[in-house]
Chains A and B, each alone.
Chain A
């Protein structure tokens, strides 16, 4: 799947979407971040400002009430009771004021201690206390003395009001002066209003910004009125700070604030990580410095929350988009995957594999439809191919059978080798195609040997059919014993009738008188034979007629030629002399004759093989263009009697008069002859054994007339030994009619000579039997080369 389009599509789309969406989120975040940051800063400023304003309002209220009372006292005189009542009303109705007093100038009071009634909210209950008690001595309290000496309303430094309110407080003190008749200003009283520091704490607590943020309120002297740590209350700020560096910073800031200038500093937060903002300002009414410190981190927490939300939203959206992409892609590519699987199956040859079903008319549907069409075409194509192949192989089979049948029309199946006492004959047909139009035939009838070589025009099947007709008729006419020219004329008429295709045959037909060596022949337009005699090759001169099969009632001249002992006659078709090589050169009659001359020392079959090989070598890679036929006829070197020795052949023969011990006499002669020829021990012994077995058979079953001769002839041609027995007995072939025993069977059932037949066959290479009307001729050939049978 990793290589599939769908997975690549999913990956690429998801990546692209992630990039685009991520970029969008980033831009949005940056824009929003600045906005949020600005809003947060504004918010924190507003928070501080409103808290300060509240505080100011509160203190203004306290100041206002006190100043109002002081103004009244400037104008009018009241009884003590009236003063007390007024004081009580103020404290009772003003929750912001912890306590208040009207302290008369002791000089003006009735008693030496003076007059200073004090009303305050003691634990929520309005309580009265007389500050003119001996031990309090209010005229010496800072709120009294400082206000008097300042001659204007003041806020007293925070203090613990022992003997008075009994709490930590700060006091707004207003001196009340009256204009005497002498226009002198004289102190009448000091009016005060106390503010509980606890109340201030409550206000300042509202100024907390964030988790670790806090507010601090200092007096003008630097005393901490309210701060983060209650232990530091009422101490000078320099005592509450630990760090010297901080002290300097604070002193700078404190001075600036007292001078009326608000200060803002960014510094490291002592409790939490990150930067903190410290803002120091002064209250307008009291001039007290008020400071707010908060952590930027905590203030910007909403921003980080926003960041987190954005990230989570982005991630979830991305996942949803990926899922959507995955689902869509899969839905789109599912038919494609199925199609790939199906086409794999089709490639394996399962043409019936169903294709995925698709709807609509999109690219995929068209692809699947094309595949379907291709599958159908492929199926029908393969079916056609199978039919064609089957019919072709059937045709090949038929042609092979036809070839066998055609070859069976030729003597010995198209490759003949006859070794008779009077002649040797070797012939071979090799068609250019499976079947061909060349033919040869021969037939010995008494002492006449018919030989024929022919060539039907064209080649292949038509030539083969015409050849079959021609050879059948020819063999029929030969068997009738007609002379060659007459037989050809008859064959011409027979082939001409109904020959609408105008096929024709060139034919050599001869008859050899084996006794005299006279060859009588006729030729129907056939290449004249070549004759090898004493190492020289000549072309037989001939008077020939036209090729047969085309027009009726032709006459063919008769030729006669006297052959001699040792002559070798070569009759062939134009497939040999018209064989071409790769350079389009023709083999030619002259080259053939030269090659034929070169075979003079070879046995006949070797010569035939060699001539075929020479033609093949000449043609090289050029395919055989025409059928090739060669027939070689060899006459024995001597007709009778005398012995002619050449370097490669030896001959010995003797006549034995019938009568026992015939075998002994034959063996004795044979051993001597073989010994003289220097034949090796083993073949010599085997030849003797063969001879003994043959003679035993002839003697026992051959019914040889008394006083007749058994002629034994021994030939050695090259490496082949031939032994021939000629007797005058009844026609009897020991090889076939012999009483051959069953090997391994009961020995007593084996007749005399019956075992010997096995030895004759096994120990020799060829056995030929012939009865020529007068005598039995049994010929045995043994090769001296191949001993290992």
Chain B
């Protein structure tokens, strides 16, 4: 199975949205690692991994995400996972992969979060 990645950068809000579609497994993980590293390197405030279309994830794929989450946290930024399907969620659960990441169940929660962040920035 293939993995298609779409990256959208919203520089005004300093948010990157990485949409994953297909399977993130041993075969597709290395390429995704490279793409995600590029996004992380931009140093945006928030990187959202949109997993709405992600059907499959293995430990190789999770390693890539963990690594990136750790890097963004070290840089004082945040990484979030959104729209996880139940069986993807189960894999996350088993590997206790949540500590460094925010989790959004759906787009609405994500938008609310972004709005809150935005208003915080304005208040500052």
Contacts and interface: CB of A to CB of B under 8 A. Distances in A.
A488 B21 CA distance: 66
A743 B56 contact: no
Given A689-B56, A744-B96, A755 B62 contact: yes
Interface in B1-54: 1, 25-27
B70 to A, nearest CB: 6
A759 B67 CA distance: 19
A600 B70 CA distance: 55
B26 A747 contact: no
Interface string A646-676: 0000000000000001011001000000000
A409 B27 CA distance: 48
A693 B58 CA distance: 7
A539 to B, nearest CB: 50
B121 interface: no
Contacts of A754: 59
Contacts of A753: 59
A754 B58 CA distance: 12
Interface string A739-756: 000011011101011111
A643 interface: no
Contacts of B25: 663-664, 667, 692
Given A663-B26, A755-B62, A756-B58, A748 B95 contact: no
B26 A758 contact: no
A interface: dominant SS: helix
Contacts of A746: 70
Contact of A743 (B55, B69, B87, B96): B96
A667 B62 CA distance: 18
A283 B116 CA distance: 145
A735 interface: no
A682 B58 CA distance: 14
Contacts of A532: none
B29 to A, nearest CB: 10
Nearest to A744: B96
A426 to B, nearest CB: 30
A688 interface: yes
A685 B96 contact: no
A759 B70 contact: no
Contacts of B95: 743, 755, 758-759
Contacts of A686: 87
A235 interface: no
Given A661-B27, A663-B25, A685-B87, A744 B99 contact: yes
Contacts of B70: 746-748
Which of A747, A754, A755: most chain B CB closer than 10 A? A747
A664 B87 contact: no
Contacts of A696: 26, 58-60
A744 B27 CA distance: 24
A752 B66 CA distance: 13
Interface string B46-89: 00000000011011101100110110000000000000000100
A688 B87 contact: no
B28 to A, nearest CB: 9
B94 A762 contact: yes
A439 interface: no
B103 interface: no
Contacts of A692: 25-26, 58, 60
Interface string A703-737: 00000000000000000000000000000000000
A659 B93 CA distance: 32
A759 B94 contact: yes
A689 B23 CA distance: 11
A61 to B, nearest CB: 150
Given A667-B25, A693-B58, A696-B26, A748 B67 contact: yes
A758 B60 CA distance: 13
A204 interface: no
B96 A755 contact: no
Nearest to A686: B87
A578 to B, nearest CB: 50
A185 to B, nearest CB: 172
Contacts of B63: 747, 750, 752, 755
Nearest to A690: B58
B67 A664 contact: no
Nearest to A681: B87
A292 interface: no
A148 to B, nearest CB: 163
A174 interface: no
A664 B99 contact: no
A675 to B, nearest CB: 13
A571 interface: no
A759 B59 contact: yes
A696 B82 CA distance: 27
Contacts of A693: 58-59
A611 interface: no
A696 B26 CA distance: 8
B59 A755 contact: yes
Interface string A631-657: 000000000000000000000000000
Most buried by A among B1, B26, B27, B63: B26
A763 interface: yes
B93 to A, nearest CB: 9
B56 A685 contact: yes
Given A685-B87, A755-B95, A664 B26 contact: yes
Contacts of B67: 747-748
B43 to A, nearest CB: 20
A763 B59 contact: no
Contacts of B55: 685
Contacts of A688: 56
A747 B79 CA distance: 15
A496 B95 CA distance: 58
A744 B66 CA distance: 10
Contacts of A661: 26-27
A138 to B, nearest CB: 160
B91 A759 contact: yes
Contacts of A758: 59, 94-95
Interface string A396-408: 0000000000000
Nearest to A688: B56
A212 to B, nearest CB: 120
Contacts of A689: 56, 58, 91
A682 B87 contact: yes
A752 B59 CA distance: 8
17 contacts: A664-B25, A667-B25, A682-B87, A692-B25, A692-B58, A696-B58, A744-B96, A748-B67, A748-B70, A750-B63, A752-B63, A755-B59, A755-B95, A756-B59, A758-B59, A758-B95, A763-B94
Given A748-B67, A754-B59, A758-B95, 9 more contacts: A664-B26, A688-B56, A693-B59, A696-B58, A747-B63, A747-B70, A755-B59, A755-B62, A762-B94
CB-based closest 4 A-B pairs: A747-B66, A755-B59, A756-B59, A743-B96
